[in-house]
Amino acid sequence: MCCKLFLDDESGAVTVDWVVLTAGVVVLAVIVMPPIQTAIVDMAAYIGETVTEYRKFLQ
pTM: 0.51
- Look at 54 and 57; give whichever has higher pLDDT: 54
Residue pair 52/59 in contact by the 8 Å Cβ criterion: no
pLDDT at residue 9, as a whole number: 73
pLDDT tens for 8-55 read 777 777 788 889 999 999 999 999 998 899 999 999 999 999 999 998
Q: What residues contact 26, with CB distance under 8 A and at least 6 apart? A: none
- More confident of the two residues 4 and 35: 35
CA-CA-CA-CA torsion sign (23, 25, 31, 37): negative
| Residue 2 reports pLDDT greater than 80 | no
Per-position b or e across 6-35, b if 16+ CB within 10 A of its CB: eeeeeeeeeeeeeeeeeeeeeeeeeeeeee
